[in-house]
Amino acid sequence: MPENQNHNLNDLRKSAISQPLVTDKFTADPSAHLFNGKIYIYPSHDIDAGIPFNDNGDHFGMRDYHVYSMDSPDDRKAKDLGKILDIDDVPWAKRQMWAPDIAENAGKYFFYFPAKDHNDIFRIGVAIADSPTGPFTAEKKYIEGSYSIDPAIFNDNGNYYMYFGGIWGGQLQKYRENIYREGNELPDDNEPALGPIVAKMSDDMKSFSSVPKEIKILDEKGNYLTAGDNERRYFEGPWMHTYNDKYYLSYSTGDTHFICYAIGDNPTGPFKYGGRILEPVIGWTTHHSILEIDGRWFLFYHDSSLSEGVTHLRCMKVVEIFYDEHGKIITVSPYSRSIQK
C-alpha cells in the first residue's frame, strides 16, 4: 500500500488519477471486454460479509455478479445492467464468488468464475448465455481439472486459453502437478516461485483440452523468479494480451501490491519479467484487465478509496496506459495528480 496511507487517505483520494466507475455498489477485479462495439465490464461484487480480516481471504464473501457497460472509457462512469449470476444458481458452489472473466465464441458468451465448492476447495465454473448481458445459465458441475482462482480467458486466433491461480487464500500452493495435498505449502524463498496455470479450452468452451501446466516467469538472466522475490514474483490475477506480436502476461504480486508483467513469444511461455504496470493502490489487493479500444490501451483496476480504505470493499477504475518504443509499459502511479491547495 502507499506509504503512510492511513495518515494521508484524503490526499491520496484527491490526487487519484481516476475516479470510481461505480459508486452505488462496491466492485472489484474488473474484467473488461469489447463486444459489438460496446465496453462490458465483469467485476466481482464486494459486500461486507461481517467476517474478520484474515490471510485466507474469508472476508471476501462475494455472492453474485453484475455486468456493467460503457460507450467509451472517457465516460468515466459505468452503467449497471443488472445481476447476471448468483451463488444460489450454481449447484456445486458454496461461497466466495471471486474474480471472473468472459469470452465470446460462435455467438455464445462463456462466463468463467471461481467459487468454493461444498468441501471449501476453490473450483472454476462456467455459465453460458446468448448475450453479453445474459441471462447466464451455470453448468451443473465445475470444469473438470480446474482449481484455485482468477480465471482469465485469452483468444489466440481462435484458440482459447484459460490462465488461473492464486496463492495464500487462493490455494494454489496446495497443488503440485495439478494434485491437491493439504501438506503442500509455498516454496522456500530461494526456490522457483509458483506461477499461474494455463490450459487450452476445448471446442465447446466448457472443459480443458490440454492438461493444465504451470507457467514459469524468468528474470533478465533467464533464471526462474524465486519465491522470495516478492516484488516481482506471481501471486494472483493473471491477464494476457498481445502487443506488437508479443504476449504480455500481467499479474498481481499480492503482498507487495504491484501489477507487473512479463513478455513471451507464445501464449504458454516462457515469459521474461518486463516491469511494473501499476504502483500500489489504496487497499491490500490489486487486480486488473487490459483492453485495446480504437488503438488506445486502457488498464481497468480497483482500489478501496470509495470505502475509505476498507480492503474488501473496493471500486473499479480505468486509466489509459502507454508503451515506449521498446514495447515496455510505462508504469502508472495511481495518485500522481497535482492537488490544488
Q: Write out the catalytic residue numbers.
A: 29, 236
Q: How far apart are CA 270 and CA 124, in angstroms?
A: 24
Q: Which of 38, 47, 92 is nearest to 70 (CA)?
A: 38
Q: What are phi and psi of 184, to 5 degrees?
A: -65, 140
Spatial separation of the C-alpha atoms in residues 43 and 40, rounded to whole Å: 10
3-state secondary structure at position 88? helix
The count of other CB atoms within 10 Å of the CB of residue 246 is: 14
297 vs 37: CA distance, rounded Å: 15
Q: What is the CA radius of gyration of the chain?
A: 19
Query: In the 3-class helix/strand/coil scheme, how is 156-210 assigned residue by residue?
Result: ECCEEEEEECCCHHHCHHHEECCEECCCCCCCCCCCECCCCEEEEECCCCCCECC
Rounded to an integer, what distance in angstroms lies between the CA atom of residue 234 and that of residue 251?
Answer: 6
Task: Quickly tell me which residue has 495518485 as its cell.
Answer: 335
Pick the closest to residue 132 from 227, 35, 244 (CA basis).
35
Q: Give the CA diameter of the chain.
A: 58
First vs last Cα of the chain: how many Å apart?
24
In 55-107, DSSP assigns E strands to: 64-70, 79-86, 93-95, 101-105
